[in-house]
């Protein structure tokens, strides 16, 4: 599948728009997304599971920009949300409530209430106390709420421990014995419609065997539940399918479907899948301006205006993103470390990268940052958040304005004794 980010005459384009033009018009750092790749990635996932009743519920945490959510809503996507804010964003973008599922270990009472009042498809319950809370909320509102129990299947992943969510030591979901207790308790509450079973084992998963093992655990529990007269009609296998950050082979949605579909041949319900990274990851990049070149004792540094506050993945996870010149002048290349302006030694976008001899004022592009890029950005060092731009064909559209210095203090208040 050809990337929407390609060189034409030595200049990098997003679809049919030169990235240099975007950098000059909207400034840097700047996130840029390809509309066509987002739509294409969604349909690759949707088509892979077309042989069974299913819902693709996009993981809003991957990138919650309203234009992106609206794009996916128009293609028929649902939403997997993990906070009241994400729920509000999904509904505001036009995603129907009956296509929204709400997970997360720490839902506040007002968040649960908003979910109930909105009439969403499912609330995924992650603890016995949360089950009691949703029962109280449903009883107070004299309504029946559709719920699912999130099961922790205790599987190990070859991924960063910070994004593994299905091991016994992780905070997510309920171990099988506790999940069975939750189902039995929920069955006694007429205000709760016990219609789903859920798992989510982690993120950036590049092997399919953990999915298979976890799904075997889930389906075994489904058989036990059936013996007790409980029939979850929604089987939610979560998301987490990885993408190729360094051109390494990774399984495709079709590969995942080839594992999952035979296992649920006799299930008879609706399959829910919650991809985020696999839809947005390779649809976005971050452009940044070279500020300075600096020799070092071990390697030279290329200092740019994007930092760990703009893209924290390299610092937080040791993630390796490809860094390329926006305009490739050709000629001799040198190995450099690309670093940002934040006052932390961890502010390194890549420790080792072969680049042509770039001068201050030229631009670099950091690839595969559409997911968990802007959504994890911060204002650390009082650095305003960057702009976001969506490209469709030959046009670039600003979908989030760059913050200015006034935005940094707009919600602060000075107490009278300091006035």
Element (H, E) at 79: strand 78-81
Token pair belonging to 408: 């940094």
Mean pLDDT of 381-408: 97
The answer to whether the beta carbons of residues 376 and 285 sit under 8 Å apart is: no
What confidence tens digit (pLDDT) does each residue in 246-298 have?
Answer: 878 899 999 999 999 999 999 989 999 999 999 999 999 999 999 999 998 88
Q: Is 40 left (phi over 0), alpha (psi -120 to 50) or beta?
A: alpha
Mean pLDDT of 314-325: 90
pLDDT value of residue 304: 98
The answer to whether the beta carbons of residues 358 and 302 sit under 8 Å apart is: yes
Mean pLDDT of 327-348: 93
pLDDT value of residue 403: 97
Mean pLDDT of 156-167: 53
385 is catalytic: no
Indicate whether 4 pLDDT > 80: yes
Omega cis (within 30) before 29: yes
Burial of 40: CB neighbours in 10 Å, binned 0-12, 13-18, 19+? middle
Alpha helices in 207-344 (DSSP H): 209-227, 253-263, 277-280, 313-317
pLDDT value of residue 158: 58
Enumerate the domain spans of the chain: 5-33+281-409, 96-275
DSSP letters along 359-396, please? Answer: -TT-EEEEES-SSSSGGG---GGGPPPPEEEEEETTEE
pLDDT value of residue 122: 97
The answer to whether the beta carbons of residues 150 and 123 sit under 8 Å apart is: no
Sequence length of the chain is: 419
If one counts every other C-beta atom within 10 angstroms of the C-beta of residue 97, the result is 16
Catalytic residue among 30, 343, 353, 385: 343
Q: Is 173 left (phi over 0), alpha (psi -120 to 50) or beta?
A: left
**Residue for token pair 């969403």:** 120
pLDDT value of residue 104: 93
Banded pLDDT at 228 (limits 50, 70, 90): very high
Of the given ranges (16-20, 215-219, 389-393), which has the lowest mean pLDDT?
Answer: 215-219
Banded pLDDT at 164 (limits 50, 70, 90): very low
Indicate whether 156 pLDDT > 70: no
Mean pLDDT of 138-155: 93
Banded pLDDT at 210 (limits 50, 70, 90): confident
Indicate whether 404 pLDDT > 70: yes
What confidence tens digit (pLDDT) does each residue in 89-131 have?
Answer: 999 999 999 999 999 999 999 999 999 999 999 999 999 999 9
| Superfamily in which the 5-33+281-409 domain is placed by CATH | Lyase, Ornithine Decarboxylase; Chain A, domain 1 (2.40.37.10)
Alpha helices in 301-346 (DSSP H): 313-317
Mean pLDDT of 54-75: 98
If one counts every other C-beta atom within 10 angstroms of the C-beta of residue 359, the result is 8
pLDDT value of residue 157: 59
Report the mean per-residue pLDDT for the chain: 93
Distance CA 44, CA 52 (A): 15
* Residues with Cβ within 8 Å of residue 60, at least 6 apart in sequence: 69, 79, 80, 81, 82, 86, 89, 90, 276
Q: At what angle do helices 66-75 and 35-48 cross, to 10 degrees?
A: 40
HEC string of 93-111 equals CCCCHHHEEECCCCCCHHH
Token pair belonging to 15: 């679809």
pLDDT value of residue 309: 96
Domain spanning 96-275, CATH architecture: Alpha-Beta Barrel (3.20)
pLDDT value of residue 169: 67
Q: What is the pTM of this model?
A: 0.94
Indicate whether 299 pLDDT > 60: yes
Banded pLDDT at 203 (limits 50, 70, 90): confident
């Amino acid at each position: 599948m050809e990337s929407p980010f390609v060189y034409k005459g030595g200049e990098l384009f997003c679809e049919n728009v030169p990235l240099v033009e975007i950098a000059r018009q909207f400034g840097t750092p700047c996130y840029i997304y390809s509309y066509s790749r987002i739509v294409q990635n969604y349909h690759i996932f949707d088509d892979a599971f077309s042989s069974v009743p299913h819902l693709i519920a996009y993981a809003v945490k991957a990138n919650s920009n309203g234009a992106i959510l609206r794009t996916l809503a128009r293609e028929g996507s649902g939403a997997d949300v993990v906070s009241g804010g994400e729920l509000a964003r999904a509904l505001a973008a036009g995603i129907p409530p009956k296509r929204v599922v709400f997970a997360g270990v720490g839902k506040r009472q007002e968040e649960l209430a908003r979910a109930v009042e909105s009439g969403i498809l499912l609330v995924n319950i992650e603890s016995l106390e949360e089950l009691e809370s949703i029962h109280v909320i449903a009883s107070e509102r004299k309504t029946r709420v559709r719920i699912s129990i999130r099961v922790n299947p205790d599987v190990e992943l070859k991924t960063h421990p910070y994004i593994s969510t299905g091991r016994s030591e992780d905070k997510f979901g309920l171990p099988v014995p506790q999940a069975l207790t939750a189902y039995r308790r929920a069955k006694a509450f007429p205000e709760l419609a016990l219609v789903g079973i859920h798992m989510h084992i982690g993120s950036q998963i590049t092997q399919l065997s953990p999915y298979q093992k976890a799904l075997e655990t889930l389906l075994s529990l489904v058989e036990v539940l059936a013996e007790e007269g409980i029939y979850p009609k929604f089987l939610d296998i979560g998301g987490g399918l990885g993408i190729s950050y360094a051109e390494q082979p990774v399984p495709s949605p079709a590969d995942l479907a080839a594992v999952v579909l035979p296992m649920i041949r006799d299930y008879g319900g609706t399959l829910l899948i919650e991809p985020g990274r696999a839809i947005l990851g390779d649809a976005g990049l971050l452009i940044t301006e070279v500020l300075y070149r600096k020799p070092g004792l071990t390697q030279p540094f290329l200092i740019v205006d994007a930092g760990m506050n703009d893209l924290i993945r390299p610092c937080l996870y040791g993630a390796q993103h490809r860094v390329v010149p926006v305009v490739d002048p050709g000629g001799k290349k040198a190995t450099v470390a690309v670093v940002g302006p934040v006052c932390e030694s961890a502010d390194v976008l890549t420790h080792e990268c072969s680049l042509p001899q770039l001068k201050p004022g030229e631009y670099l592009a950091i690839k595969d940052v559409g997911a968990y890029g802007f959504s994890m950005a911060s204002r650390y060092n009082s650095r305003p958040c960057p702009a976001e731009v969506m490209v469709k064909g030959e046009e670039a559209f600003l979908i989030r304005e760059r913050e200015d210095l006034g935005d940094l203090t707009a919600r602060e208040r000075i107490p009278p004794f300091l006035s």
